[in-house]
Amino acid sequence: MASIQHPRTGQLSKDERQSPSVKPDMNRAVKLVQILKRVDMNGIDDLAPIIEAHVVAIDLDQLGNPPRRAQGADAKTSTISTSRTL
C-alpha cells in the first residue's frame, strides 16, 4: 500500500500497519525472556527477522482463497470449514 497524503494536514501516511499478538504458554514465555536477557536483546529485535522470514516464505497462491462469510439470514445456518494445513 502506497503512502497517501492526509487531506487536512497534508502529511503522508505511514501506510497501514498490523501488530500481531502472540501468546505463548508460560513455560515458553519465561524461557524467551531468559534468552533475551542473556543475549541482551529485546523481543522486537530478536523475533522480527524470524517472523519476516516466515511471511516471505509463504506463497499466497498456494494457500488459495479463504472461505467467504455468509451474509444476512444465511449467516445463522451456514457452516464454514476453517481447517487448513500450512
Residues of the domain holding 37 = 26-64
So what's the pLDDT on residue 53? 93
Is 8 a member of any domain? no
Number of structural domains (the chain) is 1
Q: Tell whether 46 is covered by a domain.
A: yes
| Domain annotation covers residue 52 | yes
Instruction: Give the mean model confidence (pLDDT) for residues 62-68.
Output: 75
Which pLDDT band, with edges at 50, 70 and 90, does 60 fall under?
A: confident
pTM beyond 0.85: no
pLDDT in tens, 1-28: 566 676 777 776 666 666 777 788 999 9
* 1 and 15 Cβ atoms separated by less than 8 Å: yes
